[in-house]
Amino acid sequence: MEKRVVFHGKLLPYLLLAPQLLITIVFFYWPAGQAVWQSFLVQDAFGLSTEFVWFENYALLFSKPEYYKSMWTTAVFSTLVAFLSLSIALLFAVQADKHIKFATGYKTLLIWPYAVAPAVAGVLWLFMFQPSLGLVSQAIRALGFQWNPLLDQDHAMALVVMAATWKQISYNFLFFLAGLQAIPKSVIEAAAIDGATPMRRFWTIIFPLLSPTTFFLLVVNVVYVFFDTFGIIDAATQGGPAKGTETMVYKVFSDGRSGGDLGGSAAQSVVLMVIVIALTAIQFRYVERKVQY
Amino acid sequence: MSDVRLSEVRKVYAGGVEAVKGVSLTIADGEFCVLVGPSGCGKSTLLRMVAGLETISGGTCAIDGRVVNEIEPAERDIAMVFQNYALYPHMSVYNNMAYGLRNRGTPKDEIDARVKEAARILEVEPFLERKPKALSGGQRQRVAMGRAIVRKPKVFLFDEPLSNLDAKLRIQMRVEIKKLQRALKTTSIYVTHDQLEAMTLADQLVVMNKGRVEQAGRPLELYERPATLFVAGFIGAPPMNLITLPPEGLPGLQLANKPTGKVVLGIRPEHLFEQGSKSADLSLEFTVQAVEAVGAETYIYGALGGNGTEIILREPGKASPALGTRLKVGASAANLHFFDPETSQRLA
């Protein structure tokens, strides 16, 4: 039976919705609208005059090789983070789903990083991997490896990938664990009786049954890497060295805030907006319909 | 030959709870053994120990002469049908049945032949390409059975396979399971809490209570000579009337040859008859409190004069005594059961 509250009159339901609608309008639609508007404008360096230029900002944006480079950086970054955080989280969840001692403590510890703010996570990893002072850096150097994320782009990328992955594992872990626990135990037992080894059981039964969770997480993770990792990058590398870790969202910030190119930065925001709308559409279309089996 | 021998099998859980307290059973080759008892009696645990899904805490379980305590479920050559069917939801019916054979590296042609054969026997041929979601409860049940029979295992294990089906389908599937088992002659262990299912399916009926076997034997043997008060009350529907008789007797109850001391007298509702002029070894008087007419027979519920013990009388055909009337019923000595109220064991 569906439980449904029936309101008399229209005032109360609108009043109850108002706070959420207000937040959405003020913090989402308004800035989004502003970004779209700004992307059609060009301001002079001192902000004294503004000119409406139609799609000039976009044309300029897509003519610059740096923008494609930041796209490539974002692609590398998001692929690495999504793949690593999903696979490590799945490994942890499979282990936590077994009947082990201290399971509750283990789960709690795994969930903690999610509560850490991105900027704090970035600083944390920066400290650990700081070339001259970092504890981990010293250990790596002791092994004879020249570790320097301040100079080497690949090292910097590795650093932000690690930090971003570490933070996202908790979230993925929770969903995978819930997904695993939703698989009826008897199905796994039936597979065991059917002669499937634990490995085979995982790949032929558990993994396919987890596919809706995996797909949902994939979309959520990509959105996370696109937008929420700004804090980590800002704290750990500031997009450097030599823009080696400048993702699209970081470029919005650096072009607009530091570069003073508000129009170009707004155009980039709009591109990102289109991407996230597309991802959400995909998610609604496939995940909500549960097309897995 | 593929018999199952359990000897002093015990299950103690980590918390110290003893779910199965030493069960010894022999299930002969080709025999259909039904474990029955109330929930929590340890019957499912026992079955799962045979399957290898639970570790055995004590005693041994041998299948076909080989002790399997330490052997993985896959190596025991058994097949199990689960209560919720446990079909692989992302695989077609065909793949559900073929999965176990593929895991064992059976050649493709043989898999195909065996799956088609099982599908034919169980009449699921039209659904081979469907996913379990698109099947009805009864069809899923058949697929689960098919998955068990394609492997041609030594032992079939059934864990309350019919309890998710509606009443009509349950009876139909019950008959089919029986026929199938007769045709395949595969040793089977079947767990249920439904005593009617147990009575109709079993070659050997095992009544369990609180982790122990109360009695094992042919179904009619248990019906005719229940060894304990528990079995007397569990087997048969409606259940046996059990009247605690103090040494001085009860008013309104005459008994020809009563054993000495305090006893529990058992008499089945179907063995009581309305006493006209007929003489009987037992006669008792009770007040009619409720009447249930189900067509072919009528159940009359009443309270015994002396201590108010509930009495059920089963009358063939239609009868409708008015509520509150006193009925005098009797039974012959051959149908009386006596139990010791202390040990709850059968006397004589």
Residues B151, B40 share a domain: yes
Instruction: Identify which has the larger pLDDT, A104 or B135.
Output: B135
pLDDT given for residue B287 in this prediction: 87
Q: Determine, for residues B88 and A193 on separate chains, whether the beta-carbon distance falls below 8 Å.
A: no
pLDDT greater than 70 at residue A260: no
Please identify, among B176, B203, B225, the residue that sits at the C-terminal boundary of a domain: B225
Cis before residue B269, ω within 30 degrees of 0? no
Q: B-chain residues within 8 Å CB-CB of A190? A: 80, 82, 86-88, 147
Q: How many helices (H) and strands (E) does chain B have?
A: 8, 19
Q: Does B196 touch chain A (CB under 8 A)?
A: no
Q: A-chain residues within 8 Å CB-CB of B79? A: 193
For every residue of B314-348, DSSP letters joined together read: EEES---PPTT-EEEEEE-GGGEEEE-TTT-BBP-
pLDDT greater than 70 at residue B237: yes
Rounded CA-CA distance B37/B246 in Å is 29
Instruction: Identify which has the larger pLDDT, B181 or B259.
Output: B181
Instruction: Identify which has the larger pLDDT, A153 or B97.
Output: B97
Please identify, among B225, B258, B284, the residue that sits at the C-terminal boundary of a domain: B225
Whether residue B37 lies inside any domain: the answer is yes
Residues B79, B27 share a domain: yes
pLDDT greater than 80 at residue B92: yes
Residues B262, B218 share a domain: no
Instruction: Identify which has the larger pLDDT, A73 or A102.
Output: A73
State pLDDT tens for residues A41-57.
Answer: 777 666 666 777 777 77
By mean pLDDT, which of B167-176, B183-192, B225-234 is the weakest? B167-176
Residues B319, B201 share a domain: no
Identify the residue among B103, B130, B149 best suited for mutation to test binding to A, counting A beta carbons within 10 A and taking the highest: B103
CATH of the domain at B245: 2.40.50.140
Instruction: Identify which has the larger pLDDT, B275 or B17.
Output: B17
pLDDT greater than 50 at residue B2: yes
pLDDT given for residue A288 in this prediction: 59
Whether residue B260 lies inside any domain: the answer is yes
Counted domains in chain B? 2
State pLDDT tens for residues B295-315.
Answer: 888 999 988 876 778 889 998
Please identify, among B225, B250, B271, the residue that sits at the C-terminal boundary of a domain: B225
Question: Average pLDDT in the A222-247 region?
Answer: 78
Closest CA to A149 of A158, A141, A140: A158
Predicted confidence band of residue A3 (pLDDT cuts 50, 70, 90): low
Rounded CA-CA distance B41/B215 in Å is 13
Beta-bridged to residue B36, according to DSSP, are B192, B207
Q: Give whole-number Cα distances, B223 to A91, A150, B202, B212, B215, in Å.
A: 54, 86, 13, 19, 11
pLDDT greater than 80 at residue B196: yes
- Token digits for B59? 């005693």
Rounded CA-CA distance B319/B243 in Å is 24
Question: Average pLDDT in the B324-345 region?
Answer: 88
Q: Does A94 touch chain B (CB under 8 A)?
A: no
State pLDDT tens for residues B207-235.
Answer: 999 999 999 999 999 999 999 999 999 99
Positions of E strands within A82-176: none
Instruction: Report the chain B residue with the minimal C-alpha distance to residue A195.
Output: B74
Place of tokens 């650093």: A159
Question: Average pLDDT in the A3-11 region?
Answer: 75
Is the CATH number of domain A69-286 1.10.3720.10? yes
Rounded CA-CA distance A75/A69 in Å is 10
Enumerate residues 210 to 239 of chain A having a beta carbon within 8 A of any beta carbon in chain B: 211
Rounded CA-CA distance B70/B76 in Å is 10
Task: Say if strands B253-255 and B241-245 run parallel, antiparallel, or are unpaired.
Answer: unpaired
Cis before residue A184, ω within 30 degrees of 0? no
pLDDT greater than 50 at residue A291: no
pLDDT greater than 90 at residue B27: yes
For residue B218, the SS3 value is coil
Q: B-chain residues within 8 Å CB-CB of A101? A: none
Domain range holding B316? Answer: 238-339
Spans of all domains in chain A: 69-286
Whether residue B173 lies inside any domain: the answer is yes
Q: Does B148 touch chain A (CB under 8 A)?
A: no
Q: A-chain residues within 8 Å CB-CB of B89? A: 187, 209, 293
pLDDT greater than 90 at residue B111: yes
Average pLDDT, chain A: 81
Residues B163, B133 share a domain: yes
State pLDDT tens for residues B274-286.
Answer: 877 667 788 888 8
Residues B166, B311 share a domain: no
pLDDT greater than 60 at residue A290: no
CATH of the domain at B121: 3.40.50.300
pLDDT greater than 90 at residue B203: yes
Rounded CA-CA distance B115/B95 in Å is 9
